[in-house]
Amino acid sequence: MEISLIIHSILKISIMIGLGSLISRTFPFNNDSRKIFISIIVNIAMPSIILSSILNVEITKDTFKMIAVVFGLSVLINLIGFDWLGICFELLSPFN
């Protein structure tokens, strides 16, 4: 059930991208109107699609733990810096 919601969200975003590509080839847009469309899609449409798919998923204790772990790792990566983490992986990698 959860996979179908993810696939449904990805399909919605893909359709939006396809329609945007088709419309931009059909009608000429100047830079200002292009920036407005991109801003609307990035700031309103995509978060709305993601939020609606999240609200359709039943959140259990395990799901909440997984969300908390991913959020914590995201904060940690952003605090220490992604470049620093990449350098550590490169230095400590057994494939060097």
Note the Cα 80 to chain centre separation in Å. 21
Stretch 89-94: mean pLDDT: 73
Find the distance separating the first CA and the last CA of the chain, reported in whole Å: 42
Q: What is the pLDDT of residues 16-43, one digit of tens each?
A: 888 888 887 888 878 888 888 888 888 8
The domain spans of the chain are 1-58, 59-96
